[in-house]
């Protein structure tokens, strides 16, 4: 087994007197989909915000490719290869697909001291990413506002890959999508892992998780209470872990 891309050790997060996370240990490996499950308020969102650089941990450390890191902003996390695709996609509807993918990182050339965008090169790069992901989008110049929900997820993934992301965090990527669009996004998720990326998926849809996840981690009341290989568990056990009915969770919560 290869070394993990990211290791989180003893992660805790407190907001005043409220403990949102306590003693979370987790490994994320390249080429796998790791699903984080749990009820609202279980600590999943706080944990990914720490990984994304939006919140510093109150305790614990994050190690990436063997080296400890400390993020003071999402920009720091991005520089370490972490991209987060939140449920509310930060895409500009009036801009083209290519412009969104390169937003803030446009390729430029200078003629007589005047900067010009390398539009053809950007289009070719985006077209290559779309084809690699089998996203079924033929025109990188199409405005994002004309795309379906699943296609917009593909654009957000392309932007992450264009930032050389090695870990992509996907927060409820299929929320509010129709069945056909959901299928496309789940396929994109697997293709990301097949490409060698580490993928962390947050979802409330357990059936979808079993379609794409290699490992499942359950959060409950700010703690990691279980970790299972997806192939070695089932829907019923995961539900019992989330609700606290599982004997392992009851025993853990008695000690805490």
Given this model, what pLDDT does residue 107 score?
A: 65
Q: How many domains does the chain have?
A: 1
What does the alpha-carbon distance between residue 47 and residue 169 come to, in Å, rounded to a whole number?
11
Average pLDDT by consecutive 10-residue portion of the chain (256 residues)? 89 95 96 96 95 96 96 94 84 89 76 73 88 83 89 89 92 87 90 94 95 98 97 97 94 86
Examine residue 238 and state whether it is found in any structural domain, yes or no. Answer: no
Structure tokens at 190: 């697997």
Give domain status of residue 140, yes or no: yes
Q: Long-range contacts for 61-68 (Cβ within 8 Å, ≥24 apart)?
A: 61/8, 61/9, 61/10, 61/11, 62/6, 62/7, 62/8, 62/9, 62/11, 63/6, 63/7, 63/8, 63/9, 64/5, 64/6, 65/3, 65/5, 66/3
Which CATH number fits the domain that encloses residue 74?
A: 3.40.50.300
For 167, phi and psi rounded to 5 degrees? -130, 125
Supply angle C-alpha 227, 230, 232, rounded to 5.
90
Residue from 73, 69, 70, 78 nearest 54 by CA:
73
**Residues for the chain: how many in total?**
256
How far is 229 from 247, CA to CA, in rounded Å? Answer: 18
Query: Which pLDDT score, from 0 to 100, does residue 3 have?
Result: 80
256 found inside a domain: no
> Is 253 inside any structural domain?
no
For residue 248, being part of any structural domain is answered with no
Residue 68: per-residue pLDDT: 96
Residue 246 is assigned to a structural domain of this protein: no
Q: What is the pLDDT of residue 254?
A: 87
Whether residue 121 lies inside any domain: the answer is yes
Give domain status of residue 149, yes or no: yes
Domain that includes residue 132, residue range: 6-42+55-214
């Amino acid at each position: 087994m290869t070394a993990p891309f990211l290791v989180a050790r003893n992660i805790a997060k407190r907001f005043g007197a409220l403990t949102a996370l306590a003693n979370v240990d987790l490994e994320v490996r390249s080429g796998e989909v790791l699903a984080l499950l749990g009820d609202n308020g279980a600590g999943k969102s706080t944990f990914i915000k720490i990984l994304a650089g939006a919140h510093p941990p109150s305790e614990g450390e994050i190690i990436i490719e063997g080296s400890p890191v400390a993020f003071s902003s999402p920009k720091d996390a991005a520089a370490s290869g972490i991209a987060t695709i939140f449920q509310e996609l930060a895409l500009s509807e009036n801009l083209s697909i290519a412009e969104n993918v390169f937003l803030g990182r446009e390729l430029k050339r200078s003629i007589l001291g005047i900067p010009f965008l390398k539009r053809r090169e950007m289009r070719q790069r985006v077209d290559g990413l779309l084809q690699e992901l089998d996203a079924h989008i033929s025109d990188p110049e199409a405005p994002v506002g004309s795309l379906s929900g699943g296609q917009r997820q593909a654009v957000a993934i392309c932007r992450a890959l264009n930032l050389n992301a090695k870990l992509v965090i996907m927060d409820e990527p299929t929320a509010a999508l129709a069945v056909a669009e959901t299928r496309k996004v789940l396929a994109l998720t697997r293709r990301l892992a097949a490409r060698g990326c580490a993928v962390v998926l947050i979802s409330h849809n357990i059936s979808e998780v079993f379609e794409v996840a290699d490992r499942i981690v359950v959060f409950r009341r700010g703690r990691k209470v279980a970790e299972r290989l997806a192939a070695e568990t089932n829907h019923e056990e995961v539900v019992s872990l989330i609700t606290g009915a599982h004997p392992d969770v009851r025993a853990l919560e008695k000690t805490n």
